[in-house]
Amino acid sequence: MKHIKYLIFVITVSVFVSCDTDEYLNPLPDTAVAVDAFFQTDSDVLAGVIGIYDALQGVNENTTSNIGDVNRGVQFEHLLTEHRTDNTRNATLEGSKADFHRYTVNANNVESEDYYASMYEVIFRANNILNFIDIADASNQAKYTAEAKFLRAYAYFKLVRMYSDVPLITRVVGPTENEALFTRTPVSEVYTQIVADLQEAASVLDNSSKSRASRAAAQGILAKVYLTQPNPNYTGAQQMCEAVINSGNFSLQSNYSDVFYSELNDEIIFAVQYVTGNSLESQSFSSEFTSGGRRQGQEDGQNIVNDNLIEAFEEAGGNRTEVSYFTFPDATEVTKFLPEGSDVTATPPTYGGSSRDAGNDYIALRYADVLLMHVEAIMAGGESTNNAAALNSFQKVRDRAGLTATVSNITKDELLLERRVELAFENQRWFDLLRFGVADAVLSAHATELGYAFDARKLLLPIPAREINISGGLLTQNPGY
């Protein structure tokens, strides 16, 4: 009898600590997000729209170290893009973050999986808003829809270029709908959806925001889509670039440094915002770009600049060079995204009071990119152009860099080089190499130079193994993984 209270105690405790085995045995796929409908009013729907941007923004590595608990959004993107080009590398060879620059990424890579999951988080939140759009005020429905579709297209455009065929999901799907969740859709069909979504966004939105989707953002991203898709639409790309140029809402900053250190300036078309010192609204990549004895991040140092890129800057950088990177005795580091209060010229360098909770925005699209895409669209896959409109756009970017000699002809290689130095460390180079059709040639040479093993199968990242494992044999892997 006197043991009964122990018995009760034990039973009670066991009720509390009993494991939810169901969740362990049936993990949810990354491409499914369980949602409870909490949408009651217009402001709930607006909160949901903002939530899509939140998925893109991601969670600072400094906040939650367990990568399985949260998605990092775009905060790992430089690993999947810049590190896989000839631009940058990881400071050391430790851990899965160091696999990207050596082309040794495998299907279990956590950063690649996190990025894949993050983009699907964006897509699912967007689809979810579209599902509850009727609850919003009638006057806001078109705008919310356009924003959701812009973000869905933005995420799919990243996915389709990195992973090729991916499951195309445009409605809310349950976690058990394997057919929808794991059937890979051909690239061309994914592009059809991306184009349709961006066209709708461009027709509905205005240019009143830079931190949220706008008409110019949709037009600019659509221009890039037209240039990238399997059968490029050069005329459409030119029209989209000219629409942004002729809007009169954007201009190049006269001082290159202001592009990065003056938030939402006239050159920014779309940026993901972060807030300095706020652990929940900040980013970790600024601190991760530091290495050696200056290490501010939790890792050894990322985006360490390759000599090959330094040579490109010496050739074509102009006054962009001093803004873009700084050479320490042991490494060359990115200086486009230094945390608030940094001074790398001091000895030792200082990085402000909240380097790990940095507020530097992630620049998704800026005006210089559009000007150079304008040149690319007019060149229309050719080897060179001397079209006056193209020369005009190109000259603006060159002039701002202090390279004021008149350009009378632009070759494809010159355009690629200009993009390389203008947009260095902004996660554009990888996609540029693919779009210009030179990724295989450039990266083979780069890998040979630095002793990495590269082959053309590495142009696609592996579909995350976790997804394949829970797809019941539906999801197939990319060749070579």
Partner 1 sequence: MYKENIFKKIKLLLLGIVTTGSFISCDDSLFRDDLPDANSKVDTVFPEANFDYTADQENFKVINFTDLSSEASTYAWDFGGGATSTEQDPTHTFDGEGVYPVTFTASDGNNESSSITIDVVVEDKLVSAFECADFNCDPRTPWGGGRGTSTYSGSSSPTPPEGNGGAKISSSSQFLDQTILVLPGRTYEITFWYVSKSSGTSAGTLLIEDADNPDEPAFLNQEIPLSSTASSYEPISFRVETGDATENMRFNIEYAGTESRFSKISIEQIE
What does the radius of gyration of the chain's CA atoms come to, in whole angstroms?
23
- For 341-435, where are the alpha helices, taking DSSP H only? 367-379, 388-400, 412-422, 429-435
**Shortest CB 2 distance to partner 1, Å:** 51
CA dihedral 109, 113, 114, 119 (to 10 degrees): 150
User: What does the alpha-carbon distance between residue 181 and residue 179 come to, in Å, rounded to a whole number?
Assistant: 6
Instruction: From residue 54, give the alpha-carbon distance in Å to each of 41, 123, 151, 280.
Output: 20, 12, 11, 10
Region binding partner 1 by CB under 8 A among candidate stretches 22-30, 189-197, 203-211, 378-386:
378-386
Region binding partner 1 by CB under 8 A among candidate stretches 37-45, 303-311, 346-354, 472-480:
472-480
Region binding partner 1 by CB under 8 A among candidate stretches 172-180, 298-306, 377-385, 414-422:
377-385
Closest to 447 measured CA to CA, from 85, 78, 79? 85
User: What does the alpha-carbon distance between residue 28 and residue 26 come to, in Å, rounded to a whole number?
Assistant: 6
- For 109-257, where are the alpha helices, taking DSSP H only? 110-131, 138-163, 178-182, 187-204, 215-228, 234-246
* Interface with partner 1, residue 479, by CB under 8 A: yes
* Interface with partner 1, residue 477, by CB under 8 A: yes
**Shortest CB 457 distance to partner 1, Å:** 7
**Shortest CB 378 distance to partner 1, Å:** 11
* Interface with partner 1, residue 456, by CB under 8 A: yes
What is the three-class DSSP state of 364? strand
Instruction: Tell which one of 278, 386, 448, 469 touches partner 1 (CB under 8 A).
Output: 386
Nearer to partner 1, 171 or 457 (CB): 457
Residues in the chain: 481
Nearer to partner 1, 48 or 462 (CB): 462
Instruction: Tell which one of 310, 331, 389, 450 touches partner 1 (CB under 8 A).
Output: 389
Binding mask 430-449 for partner 1 (x = CB under 8 A): ----------xx--------
Closest to 417 measured CA to CA, from 445, 404, 436, 400? 436
> Residues 392 to 431: which contact partner 1 by CB under 8 A?
408-409
User: What does the alpha-carbon distance between residue 285 and residue 359 come to, in Å, rounded to a whole number?
Assistant: 10
Size of the site for partner 1 (CB under 8 A): 18
Region binding partner 1 by CB under 8 A among candidate stretches 166-174, 197-205, 267-275, 384-392:
384-392
Residues that bind partner 1 (CB under 8 A): 382-384, 386-389, 408-409, 440-441, 455-457, 476-477, 479-480
